[in-house]
Amino acid sequence: MGAGAVNERESAAELIASLTRKVADFPAPGIQFKDLTPVFADPRGFAAVTDAIADVASGADLIAGIDARGFLIGGAVAARLNTGVLAIRKGGKLPPPVLTEHYELEYGTASLELPADGIDLTGRSVVIVDDVLATGGTVAAAHRLLEQAGAQVAFAAVVIELAGLAGRDLVAPLPVHSVVVL
């Protein structure tokens, strides 16, 4: 990677960090929510996110976006790479039959689902994308769910990683690419 690419990535990270809205005590007291809505609403910010993740995800058969902000990122990255996008849904949003994976969040529990039929993931190379890696529960559950469906998960890519919450440790040995680390 040349110096220009590093400078572009550093500029992208700075732009994304500057556009990210920080909301105290949401969704629960003591949690500082990182709202990427302003990043996605800004054409430069959205392009920076899309480019940074597409640069590392080339070669994947599918981009798997986690409900809901991961859908935005995943769709844009898949379009940029001319590949398919897979929506990993929150529990209860898909008709049966579904594959389900339950997990812990920093502020509760949840589940993720994929259709159990209609999409053959066996042996397909998949990159998971999401907005934020916090404690790692959501990405780890998505990884387990995709493996249950037969996919080969190459890595996860996130816009922001909250390094102090050790999410990377929970998803290990799955590699994680973060555009911004806070």
Asked whether the beta carbons of 91 and 35 are under 8 A apart, the reply is no
pTM for the whole structure: 0.91
- Please give the structure tokens belonging to residue 77: 């990255």
- Please give the structure tokens belonging to residue 174: 């799955």
Which DSSP state fits 95? P
Which residue type does 157 have? A
pLDDT at 146 over 90: yes
pLDDT in tens, 35-49: 999 999 999 999 999
- Catalytic residue ranges: 69, 106
Q: Confidence class of residue 154 from pLDDT cuts 50, 70 and 90?
A: very high
Instruction: Tell me the average pLDDT across 145-161.
Output: 98
CATH of 3-181, one of 3.40.50.2020, 3.40.50.620, 3.40.1170.60, 3.40.30.10: 3.40.50.2020
